[in-house]
Amino acid sequence: MSESTKSSGCCGGCGSGIKCMQIIEDGTLKNNPIIHQVLGVCSALAVTGRVENAIVMGIALIFVAMMSNLIVSLIRNLMPRRIRMVVEVAIIATFVIIFDQLLKAFYWDMSRQLGPYVGLIITNCIVMGRAEAYATQNPPLPAMLDGIANGLGYAVILVLIACFRELLGAGTLLGITILPASHYTPNILMVLAPGAFFTAGFLIWIINAIRQPRAETEETA
Amino acid sequence: MNTTPALVILIASILTNNILLASFLGMCSFLACSTKLETAFGLGVAVTFVMVCTTTLNYLLYQYVLVPLGIEFLAFILFIAVIAAFVQFVEMFVERYSPKLYYALGIFLPLITVNCAILGASLFMVIRQYNLIQSAAFGLGGGIGFWVAIMLMAGLREKMGYSNVPVPLRGTAILMLITGVIAMTFMGFAGMISMQ
């Protein structure tokens, strides 16, 4: 209970060892951006048809969140407060462009498959949210760690959803056949759009059921 | 060049290639603003309007500024800047000339800047190589598609207020499942029309 209540309070602090662990734990487990804050679900659902896509997308988000948190944190005292949003968006967009260009240069097939979703990291609320809530108030090193942690939390969920969808939808994992067609008829629905919603719904349901239910305080719908 | 007729793009982006139910764009505001029909309606109108205008604007800027200069990689920054500036402009315009509309739509406008459906529509437009008319049709269809989806969701959520949802399912989980069912029903349109 106490974990979920303290959740979003991003207590300022600097990088002693325990603090670092706490930042990482907060980002990946206790306060996972997708499961608990329902941020950035758009891309989480869209790219999880295949595990490979999910991994690349996870790496992209870790990279962008890490670098933008670092830069925002470095210039946090120079930025006028009123234009900070614009500055943050520009910084995030820069790193998204860098990643997108790298992907296009070295991994064209993947770039085509991910389509617009790499570009959509710009509007991914996780990156923006962390830059705004954490990086503007904390020194560079913890901010960078926070970016990595939140990116990692996002990547883990993505890969988890993708594992279910690819396994049930195509009988493969990372392109390797796990369930041969002779024993298992692939359920196409899982790789199509509804499968993404169902998998995410069930995943959140299971995680909520395992954790302490905090339903009393929550609104009914 | 993409040769799909604009009308086909319009209908397909509402039904078969719904921007929310098939491309998963705009989920954040879809989940957050679908508690009441009235709110959902307002957001739907605002999204549709902004989407039509920004896809058209972005198309013109992309084709006539970025492409001739050979700096297509700056598209992301350009698109997000155009969207932010446009939303800001609309907000000021509406506030000045129609305070009534401002109170109805005003709160949604800042939200739209970070709505990934808006940026997504512009990115899809580039990837699918639409021309001007097709881009406008896609923007309109995408907006209406979002509008339809969020209205459906809001209607269901208002009904859901009376039902006893199991505790761990409350919140996002049940919403995801409902969206899944809506997406599945929309797949029924799949054979009707197709677009690339």
Q: How far apart are CA B127 and CA B123, in angstroms?
A: 6
Q: How many structural domains does chain A have?
A: 1
**Residue A196 domain flag:** yes
| Higher-pLDDT residue of A11, B107 | B107
**Residue A167 domain flag:** yes
Q: How high is the pLDDT of residue B107?
A: 67
Note which residues in 146-185 of chain B have CB less than 8 A from chain A: 157, 160-161, 165, 167-177, 179-181, 183-184
Q: How high is the pLDDT of residue A12?
A: 36
Q: How far apart are CA B196 and CA B189, in angstroms?
A: 15
**Residue A180 domain flag:** yes
**Is the model's pLDDT at B93 over the cut of 70?**
yes
**Residue A189 domain flag:** yes
Q: How high is the pLDDT of residue A18?
A: 61
Scanning every residue of chain A, which has its alpha carbon at the shortest distance from the alpha carbon of B119?
A120
Supply the mean pLDDT for chain B.
Answer: 85
| 3-state SS assignment for residue A33 | coil
Percent of chain B predicted with pLDDT > 70:
95
Residues of B in contact with A118 (CB under 8 A): none
Test mutation, A122, A164, A207, chain B, max B CBs within 10 A: A122
**Residue A138 domain flag:** yes
Test mutation, B31, B73, B170, B196, chain A, max A CBs within 10 A: B170
CB atoms within 10 A of CB B1: 6
Instruction: Tell me the pTM.
Output: 0.81
Scanning every residue of chain A, which has its alpha carbon at the shortest distance from the alpha carbon of B23?
A46
**Residue A195 domain flag:** yes
Task: Report CA-CA distances (Å) from A17 to A69, A144, B12.
Answer: 19, 14, 54
H or E segment at A176? strand A176-177
Residues of B in contact with A218 (CB under 8 A): 170-171
Q: How high is the pLDDT of residue B21?
A: 87
Q: What is the pLDDT of residues A161-198, one digit of tens each?
A: 888 888 888 877 887 777 777 777 777 788 888 888 88
Scanning every residue of chain A, which has its alpha carbon at the shortest distance from the alpha carbon of B110?
A85
Q: Cβ of A194 and B183 within 8 Å?
A: yes
Q: What is the ipTM of this complex?
A: 0.83
Tell me the two tokens of residue B183: 């997406």
**Residue A1 domain flag:** no
**Residue A5 domain flag:** no
Q: How high is the pLDDT of residue A38?
A: 64
Average pLDDT estimate for B87-115: 77
Q: How high is the pLDDT of residue A6?
A: 34
Q: For chain A, list residues with pLDDT below 50.
A: 1-16, 215-221
Domain that holds residue A127: 15-220
Helix axes B116-127, B37-61, angle to 10 degrees: 40
**Is the model's pLDDT at B67 over the cut of 60?**
yes
Q: Find the distance separating the first CA and the last CA of chain B, reported in whole Å.
A: 12
